[in-house]
Structure 1
Amino acid sequence: MRVIGIHEATYYARRQRLQREPKERTNNGGRPQPGYSWTQDGKRISDEQIKEYLIELIAGEESIYGYRKLGICLHKQHQLIINHKKTYRLCKELDILSPQRQIKAKHPRRMARNRTITASNELWEMDIKYGYIAGEDRFFYLMSLIDVYDRSIVDYHIGLNCEGADAANTLKRALWKRNCFEKEKKPIVRTDNGSQFISRVFEETCEQYQVEHERIPPKTPNKNAHIESFHANLERECYIKHTFESYQDAYQVVGEYIDFYNQRRIHGSLYNMPPAEFCRQLADGNVPAFIVTL
C-alpha cells in the first residue's frame, strides 16, 4: 500500500464498504414460472391449455364462481394439481376475475362531532387505561366511563382481560345507575376505535338500548379529552404512588381511588366541589348551570 500510495485506513474502509454492498442478483423476479401444471396421473398440462379450460368454465354454469371455486372445478373435471395462487394468476391474465363484494357494515361508523353539553347524561366518554402489577409481572385493564358534564366516573371495569362484552356490561350498568333505561333521550357514548368498542356485542348493545355511539378519528385523543384527563390524574395520583403486588391489591387501590375521585376530590371546573357534591348542589339549585363546549 505504501508503494501504490494508498493509506491503510482508506484501503480497509473501501474493503468494508464493498463487503456491505449487496451483490447483483441475476433474477429479481423470484422463482421462474414453470409454465405448466401436473395432473393426478402425472400428465403435464401447459398454462395455455389451463387457460382454455378456464374459458370453457366461465362460458357455462361456472361463470358465477370466483377463482378459488374455478380451481376446484379444474381439479374435479381435469384432475389438475393447481393451487389457488396460480388459478388467481391465470384468471388475472385472462381478465376474468369476479369483482370483489363490497361488505357493508351492519353498524355504520358515526364520527364524533362538536357538541354543546348543558346537563348530565348527555355525553359520556369511554376509554381504557393499563396498569402494571409488579408483584406478578403482568398488566391489568381499567375501562372507565365518565360523564362529560359532571365529571363523575359513572361506572368502570377492572380486569386482567378487557373485551367487547365488558364494554357492553359497563355501559348497561351506567344506564341503570343513572336511571336512563326509561328516558326517551339516552346519553351519547363517545369512544376511540379500540377493538372493544367496534365489537359486534358493544354495537348491538348500543342499538338495543338506543344509545348513539360515536367514535373519534384516529390519533385525536383531544376529542376524548375528559376521560383522557381522568386517566392522566389516575396515573399521577394513584399508579405512580403504588407498587401493586397482586391483582387483588390493584383492584382494591384503584377502586378506592375512583371512590375518592367521585366523592371527595376537588374539581376546579365544578366550583371546587367533587362530582357527587356538585350533582347534589346543582339539583338543589344552589349552583348555576354552565355549558360545556367541545
Structure 2
Amino acid sequence: MGTPFDDSERRVWAGSAAAYAIGFGRLCAHTVPWLLDAAGVGEGTRVLDVGTGTGSVAAAAGARGARVIAVDAEPDMARRTRDAVPGARVQIAALPQLPFLDGRFDATVGNFVLNHVGRPRAALAELRRVTRPGGRIALTVWAAPPAPGQALLGRAAQAAGVPRPPHLPTLAPEDDFPRTADGLTGLLRGAGLVRAGCRPLVWDHRTTPEEWWHGPAAGVATIGRIVTGQGPATTERIRRHFTALAAEFTESDGALVLPHAALLAYGEVAGGDAEAGGGAAPGANRGDYDVR
C-alpha cells in the first residue's frame, strides 16, 4: 500500500512525459553514463531500469548491448519509453513492489527514482530482492542542500511569496534519510548491500530560460504544482522573479548555465562470487536467460 507521498507523486507526474522530456528529462540524462558504469552494465548484462521516465537509461543500456527491462509507475512515461527505445521491454510498475522473480537481474539501476518513493528503505529491499547475488545496484539522487542551478526555480517561488502547498506531502520523518554521501551509503548498507559507496556528481546544465520555465509552467514535478497551483496571476508573478534571478546564470549568447549536484550510490548484493573476491562480469555465463 502506498504512502500519502506516493499517492501525491502519482498525481504530480500524471501525463507529464512530453513536458518532462523537453527540460528536466535532458537534465537527468546527464548522469546516465556514470550510473551504468557504476552498475557494471555491458554486453549481455540483464538490466532492470526502475523509474525509466522517458527512457534515457534504457536506451543507453541497450546501446551497450545489455538486455533491458524498464519500468515506470506513470503510464505516460512507460508509453513514451516503449516508443522511443526499440528492443526494451517496458512495464508499468511501482516500488516497493516489482513483478519479477528473485535474483532475475545482473544489474538494477534507478536514475533519480529514490527521490520519488515514500518508503526508500522498502524500495531498496525490493531492488536487492530482484538482483542476483553478486549483482550490482546503482542509484542517483539529488544532493542536499541543492546546487545553485537546482535551487533557481524554488528561489523564484520563494521570492514571489509562494510556499509549498500543504496538500503536497513530504516524506514521513521515519522514512527520510540525509541526502549526503554518508547518508546514502548508510541507506544502501542498511539494505544489506556490500561494497557500498557513494560519490558526488557535479556538472553545468546548459539550457535556455524558455526551456527551463516550460516544465514548471506545464505543471511538471512538485515545483510545477507550486508554480501553477494558485492560478495564472501567481504563475506570472513567479515567472517574473524567475526571469530576474535567471540573469545571474545567463551567458552572453542567451544560454542558461545551471550548476547541479547529485549523488551516485552503488553496491553489490551479498552472496555472489564478487563478494568472495572474484567472479564474472555482470551478464557473463548467462546465455540461457531470455527477457522476452
Q: Could you say whether these structures have the same fold, taking a TM-score greater than 0.5 normalized by the shorter chain as the test?
A: no
Q: Greater strand share, 1 or 2?
A: 2
Q: Which has the larger radius of gyration?
A: 1
If the TM-score is normalised by the length of the shorter chain, which range does it land in? under 0.3
Flag the structure with more relative contact order, 1 or 2, with Cα contacts below 8 A and sequence separation at least 6: 2
